[in-house]
A and B are shown apart, each in its own frame.
Chain A
Amino acid sequence: MTREKNPVLSEHFEKLKELLPDVYAKHFKEEKENRNQKLFRMLKHSLGVIEAVYLQNSENFSLSKAEEYAKIIDELKELGYSYSGHHELLGKAANFMIMKAKKPMEKAKGTVKLDDQDRQAM
C-alpha cells in the first residue's frame, strides 16, 4: 500500500526547504558522512590485510603491488583522510617509483669489424 502525498503539505515542505536549505540538507549530509566513514573503515581494513600479507612473506611481495598500495594511501590523503600506512612497505614503493625513472638497458654491439681499413692498392 502506498501513501499518497498530500499536495498542500508537500508544497509547504518544499517552501520550507527553499527557505532553510541548511536544516534540510543536514540530515542528508550526515547520512553521506556516515557512509563515507564506513567506506573509509572498510578501506583501512583492506589495507591492513595487504600489510599482513606483506609481513607474512615480504620477500615475495612484488614491488608493483607495493606501488599500488602506496597509490591508494596517496589518493586517500588527497581526499582528506589520513592513513599513515606501513612504513617499510611505503619505503619499498617509493624506491620502486624512483628506480622506474632509470635509464634503459644497453645492448652490446659486438666487436667492430676492421676488414676494410688500411687497405692498400696493389
Chain B
Amino acid sequence: MTTLRLAVATALACGMVVSAFCPVARAGEGEVSFGSQWWDQTVRDAKYDEFSQVPRGGFLESFVLREWSGRNSLALWGANGLRSDQASKLTWANGARWRVDLGYTQIPHQFSHTARWGWTQTAPGVFTLPDTLQARNQALPTSYTPRMADFLADAPTIKLGFDTHISNARLRARPARGWQFEARGTMRERSGQKPYALDFGFSTALENPEPINQRMVDADLIASYQRSRLRAQASVGLSTFDNAISTLIVDNPKRNFDTKGGDGPRVGQLDLYPDNQVVRGSLALSYLLPKRTAIAATLGIAQGKQDDDFLPFTTNTLVDTIGGDLSTIGNKTTLDSLAARRLDGKTTQLNGDVRLTTSPVRGLDGTLRFHYTDYDDRTEERNWIGQTPYDVTWQRFIELESGPHGNTQWQGGVDADYAFASQFRLGVIAEYRSREREEREVEKDHETVLGGRTRLRPWDGFEVSGRYTHGDRKLDEFLGEDYIGLRTRFDPTAPGLYDSLGQLEQPDLRRFDVANRVQDLATVGASYAFGERLDLSASYDYLKNDYKDTKFGLQDETQHTAAANATWHFNDQVDLDWGGGYSETETNQASRQSGSSIPSTSSLDDWGADLKDRDGFAAAGFEWTPKGRISLSGRYQLSVHDAKFDLSNATSTAQDLPTTIYRRHESLLDASWRWLESTTVVGRWGWEEYDVDDWATNDVPLIFPVTGTATAIFLGDSARSYKAHRVALLVKHRF
C-alpha cells in the first residue's frame, strides 16, 4: 500500500540530499518556516480539523528550496511537514526538454471525535457482539433499549475519519521541436472508517463504522505533435479501483439465532463498493486558420469493467428462496439461486467534441461547438427471482430485471460577440441539448437555450458585463409504466407487499432531473480599477428553475447571489481587502402521502415544503508593513448559513421544522519582527468560533429514540458548537 508513497518520499529526500551536496556550481535560494503552537478548543468537534491537522507543539509550516545549475533546476516545496495534511513536491527540469514532478499529499477527513461503537472487529469488515448480549436481547426483547443503552455508553470512542494519501509522478519530455510527451500517474490510497448503515427488518437502522482500505490508480500517456498550424494529441490511460474490504458483516444486536420476519437474521451483510477498471484513449486534432480561426476535434473512448462476485441473497439461513415453478433453481440462500455469479459489468463511453472559434472580421468573435457523450452500459440484462432487502423476508418477484442504465447526451451551440466599439460588446448565445437514457419514465428530453451577453467599458478601468439565458427543456414522452409497482406473487388476486395494484408512484410526479423545465439564468458584474490602488468589483447571479408541469415533486427553485470585493493599496505600507456576499435559495416541492401500498388519490393528503437556504459571507484582511522591522497582517472571515423549513398540508396540521444554523467566525493575526536580515520571527494568534444548530445532526444519541423501543443505533457523531484559540511562534528564515 505504501510502495509508491515510499518511493516518492525517497525521491524527495534524495532530491534534498543531492541538491545539498552536489559539487556542481549552482545558485540557489530557499525559505523555511517552523515554530511551535498551542491551541485549545472548548468542545472537541471534528469540524475544526475536518480536513487538516491543527498542529500542537512543534511544527514545520513550509519550506521551499530552489536551485539552478546550468540547464538544470530543482525545486523542492513542502507544507505542513510530517502532519496528516502534509503536501510536498519535487520538480526537476532540464532546460525546456525534461521535467519531472513528484508529489505527495495527505488529506485527512475527520467526521467525529466523539463517535462510539461497541462491536468488535474480528477481521477486516467483520463486526461481532458478545453472544451473551445477543442471546439476552433475543430472550428479553422488552429490555433491549436500556440494555443496549448501557452497552453503548460503555463502548469505546472510535476514530471516525479516513486519510487519503495521494502520490503522483509526472514526466514531461520535449525531445525535439514540435514534440511533447507526458507520462503521469496518481495513486490514491484511502484508509480509515466512515459512517455507513444497514438495517435489520423494516425501519431499523444500524449505523456502522465502514472500514476503508481502498486504492485508486490513474495513469496516462500523452503524446503531442505540432507543426505549423497543425496540432495533434493522443493519449491512452488506465484507471483502477481496488477495495480490500468489499463486504461489511455485522452482528444483529437483537438476534442470536436467525428468524424469519421480525428482527431478522443473526448477522447482516452489506456489499461494499466493487472493484472496477477503465481503460481509455483519446485523439485530438487542432488546426489554426487565418482570421484567428481555430478548429479542434476530440474523440475519446473508454471501456469499463466490473466483475466482483455477488454475495448470496441473504445471510438468513431460514429465508427460503424456493417458490413457485422456479423451485428447481436452487435452495435457500446459496449462490445457486442467483441469476449469475457475478455482474460481468461492461461499459463503453464514447466522447466527441468539435469546436470552431473564429474572428472573421474585426470586432466579431464566434464559436461553434458540439459535444457528444454516449455512456453505453453493455451489462447483460438478468431476471431475478426475488430479493431479501433486509435479510428478513423473501420477496418473490414475477418480473424483476436488472437492466443497464446507459445514457447519451449531446449539446450543440453557437456564441457570437460583436464589438461595436472598443467600449461596447454585444453577443448572442444559442444552444441545443439532447439527452437520452434507458429504463426511465422519460427516455428522451431536449432543451433549447437562447440568450445574450454584453460588456460595457465606458471608461478606462470600469467594466460592466451581463449575461442572460433562457432555457426550455421538454420531455419527449412520459412512460407511465415506470411508475407501476412490482408484482411479487403469481396469483394476481393475492397481491404482495409491492404488487402493482396500480401506480407505485403518483402519476403526476415529475422527477426534477427529467421534468419539463424553464430555466432563467442571469449574471451581472461590474468592476472598477481606480488606478493601481483601488479595485472594486461586484456581481449578482440569478437562477430560476420552473417545473411548470410538475404537480408532485420539485416545483420551482429560485436563487439569488450577490457578492462584492474590494482591494485597496492604501499606500506603500498598508494594503486592505474586503469581500462579502449573500445568497438565497428557495425551493418549493409538493407531495401526496400514502401510508399504504396504494397511492392516495385524495387531495387531503397533499403536503408541500418551502425550503429556504440563506448564506452570508464576509471577509476582511489587512497588511501593514512599515519601513522598520515590525509588520502586521490580519484576516477575519464570517460565514453564516441558515435553512428554513416551511411545511404545509391540506389539513393545516403541518408544523415547521426548526431553522438550522451554521455560523463560523475565523480570525488570524500575524505580528512579524525582522530579527536578522533574512530571519523573521512571527507571533500568531488565531481564533475560531463555530455555532451549529441542526435538528438532524445535533446531539445524535447512540440509541434512538432514547425512550421507548429503539429503532436505530447510531454512532453519536454529532455536530457541535465550539470555540478554539491558538497561539504560535514561528521563525521564517530565507537562505
User: A and B: real partners?
Assistant: no
